[in-house]
A and B are shown apart, each in its own frame.
Chain A
């Protein structure tokens, strides 16, 4: 049974500036403390829902999503193959539990940097996330404002844009040229509203 989270923001007294300057009862300053209640939800129940949908992901039921391409994956294998390219479809899904359209990106730059390709050239991409099928649209940190705002509004036909209640299926591409990897790095899953994109309020 879902426990709906509450979010109470009591910002009552902020607007008392100029209007309060006249008449009796004037005051110069007020400092009013108001409570802001924030509940932190499991990934599956948050505004931005993150659900494990494969044996290569875990943790969304009771905490934070983890992606495991190692012995923590619930398979008989303990890692990806060396000198091989691996595509995994539908590793996890992003759910828009808010109530407006959002554009999704995944910043995996620090992870890519940690995945040494053996050549010393860190600009080569070893890994990215994609929407749907291999070879489809990548979710790399892009310039979402340029790509997702078309004609002044959010391009809802783009596969990276999901509406309220909609789900984006995330796959993973990783290629290894023989280097030994044992890496644990964070990626950042971003969701941007139309307003954030127009205002260029982008996490970089």
Chain B
């Protein structure tokens, strides 16, 4: 293909400062480009987070469905003939399954992005029960310092919740024994954390 020459026939008028650096110079460029963004349910998002089991310790909640957890499950009494009211004080509990125990894992995290990611849990609150996540198959606690092994694109991780009530009041004197805690599920591409 013949390379075409760039010819700039700017007589005497237009030799401003910009053109002084030669052909190919431009002073400003402003290019409009389109960006489209959708928010997806956890089930379809770039990081797929999915509740597991039929016993409703985990469930999909909201107009855009995000996974949430109820410990104990509202249907806890349907399984095993018991009806626990909550986790014990001054204890560390692990929930690696739903109340129904019909599927392994309390919830799963699947990489639907484009790079391998390491998964771990964090929590914004500093008071109340501490909430963390662990690998439901190996038992490894997944923290920022010690995240999961890299999840390749398309790979899933079965997770459970660890709840630590050491030093936490049962709130019985407050007539309100429920804590609403926040779990942040982080997925970070290798080498970028």
Interface size class of B (residues with CB under 8 A): 35 or more
CB of A80 within 8 A of CB of B11, answer: no
Task: Indicate if A120 sits at the interface (CB-CB under 8 A).
Answer: no
B5 surroundings in chain A (CB, below 8 A): 6
Residue ID in chain B nearest A82 by CB atoms: B64
Task: Indicate if B82 sits at the interface (CB-CB under 8 A).
Answer: no
In the complex, the number of residue pairs spanning A and B with C-beta atoms less than 8 Å apart equals: 221
CB of B49 within 8 A of CB of A81, answer: yes
The listed residue (A65, A76, A181, A196) touching B39 by CB distance below 8 A is A181
Contact with A along B95-125 (1 / 0, CB 8 A): 0000000000000000011100000000000
A5 surroundings in chain B (CB, below 8 A): 4, 6
A76 surroundings in chain B (CB, below 8 A): 48, 112, 154
A202 surroundings in chain B (CB, below 8 A): 28
The listed residue (A54, A180, A188, A193) touching B25 by CB distance below 8 A is A193
Secondary structure of the B contact surface, majority rule: loop
Interface locus among B12-20, B128-136, B157-165, B166-174: B12-20
CB of A75 within 8 A of CB of B112, answer: yes
B23 surroundings in chain A (CB, below 8 A): 7, 99
Give the CA-CA distance A100 to B66 in the complex, in Å. 49
Task: Indicate if B33 sits at the interface (CB-CB under 8 A).
Answer: yes
Interface positions of A from 94 to 118, Cβ below 8 Å from B: 97-100, 102, 108, 111, 115
Give the CA-CA distance A188 to B113 in the complex, in Å. 26
CB of B33 within 8 A of CB of A192, answer: no
**Assuming A1-B1, A5-B4, is B39 touching A176 (CB within 8 A)?**
yes
Give the CA-CA distance A80 to B10 in the complex, in Å. 50
Contact with A along B18-56 (1 / 0, CB 8 A): 100111111111111111111111101111110000000
Task: Indicate if A140 sits at the interface (CB-CB under 8 A).
Answer: no
Residue ID in chain A nearest B17 by CB atoms: A195
> Nearest-CB distance from A106 to chain B (Å)?
9
CB of B6 within 8 A of CB of A7, answer: yes
Given A55-B114, A185-B34, A196-B27, output 11 extra A-B contacts at Cβ < 8 Å.
Answer: A7-B8, A67-B36, A71-B38, A75-B112, A77-B46, A78-B45, A79-B37, A80-B38, A82-B40, A187-B34, A192-B28
